[in-house]
Structure 1
Amino acid sequence: MKRLVRILTALELGVVCLAVAMIFLLVLYQAAQRFVPVPNVVWTGELSEFALIWLTFGAAGVLVTRDGHIALQLVDNLPRPGLVRAIQVLALLLVAVIATAFAWACWELVSSAGFLTSPALGLPMSWVYAITLVGLVSTTIRAVARAVGIARGAPLAGSEGDDAPAPATGEVQA
């Protein structure tokens, strides 16, 4: 199971890296179009906007798994670990519920927007929504799995767990 999660994480991160590269190159080309006599391409802005959407929703599931999502350290530093654990489980379940609602709405868009295309590129909008849907489903599954793990005693966010970096040689931990 851990191997499957690693493969899916690598695929999601690959999509995210591709989206970042697309945004960088397309915006760079847009800037070059203003000052250098290169052919004017109108769809670069539109595709970079879609890449930003894919980046956002593609990274959400990975961030939930790695505790890289937005968190309140005030809660993580409470002196009662049981209360911290309960709040983190509740927060992850709330993330799962919201991601499920968004995924449902996204599914409606995928199934009903097959005839719509983007204005400049002509890309079917169902493709744009489908990548977003995959990210939302991943976020839902990962949030539920992480909530169950924390409820069963997995390391809390902000604590030293298996994913914590090892100290460098000669470095003293406080």
Structure 2
Amino acid sequence: MNHLLEIIVRISRAAIGLAFCVLIGAVLIQVLGRSVFSNSPVWTEELTRFALLFLAAFGAGLSFRSGDLVNVDIVSESAPGRWPWRMRLIGAVVTAAMCALLIGPAWKYTSIGALQTSPALGWRMDYIHVSVLVLILSLMIFSAARAVLMMLGQSDGLPENRLDEPPL
């Protein structure tokens, strides 16, 4: 399971890097167009939004894994005994369950996009709406993995923000 998680982490990081490169490129074209050429292509606005969507989609699960999502650990970690571990487990299970419940609606939202195209780029919107599905699946995978690893005794449920890991 750890090997599969590492593969998903690497794919997510590569996708974040690609989305960030697209974002940088679109903004650079936008800035140069406005300041140097006095004419910025209209599609750069759309491409920037799409890149941000995918940046968030692939980053959500990794943020859960590293502990960078908003958390109320000041409450849970101050509890006595095994309660912090229990609260981390409950949080991971509830997060995974909620994501599982949202897969159907996210799939419907994505499929509706096949009937629409983006105004400036002319892309089918299901290719863009799939970012919502990716976000939910990413968050579900990493929260379920945390819960399973905790139940197997391979993790204490604390975020895996290790100092020896390269930054996202």
Shorter-chain TM band: 0.7 to 0.9
Question: SS of the counterpart of 1:99?
Answer: helix
Q: Is the 8 A contact 1:86 1:151 kept in 2?
A: no
Aligned Cα root-mean-square deviation (Å): 2.2
Give the Cα separation in 2 of the matches to 1:80 and 1:20.
Answer: 42
Q: Is the 8 A contact 2:110 2:129 kept in 1?
A: yes
Give the Cα separation in 2 of the matches to 1:64 and 1:126.
Answer: 26
1:164 maps to 162
Structure 1 residues not aligned, in runs of 5+: 167-174
Q: Is the 8 A contact 2:85 2:156 kept in 1?
A: no
Give the Cα separation in 1 of the matches to 2:22 and 2:58.
Answer: 14
Give the Cα separation in 1 of the matches to 2:102 and 2:55.
Answer: 16
Count of residues in correspondence between the two structures: 163
Query: What is the CA deviation profile of residues 116-174 of structure 1, one whole-angstrom value per residue up to 9, with x for unaligned ones?
Result: 1111111111111224313321211221121232244322416xx7x6336xxxxxxxx
1:44 maps to 44
Q: Following superposition, which runs of at least 4 residues in structure 1 exceed 6 angstroms of deviation?
A: none
Shift of 1:46: 0.5
The letter for the 1-side match of 2:123 is L
Identity fraction in percent: 25
Stretch moving more, 117-126 or 148-157: 148-157
Task: Tell me the TM-score normalised to structure 2 length.
Answer: 0.83
The letter for the 2-side match of 1:136 is I
Stretch moving more, 45-54 or 138-147: 138-147
Shift of 1:80: 2.0
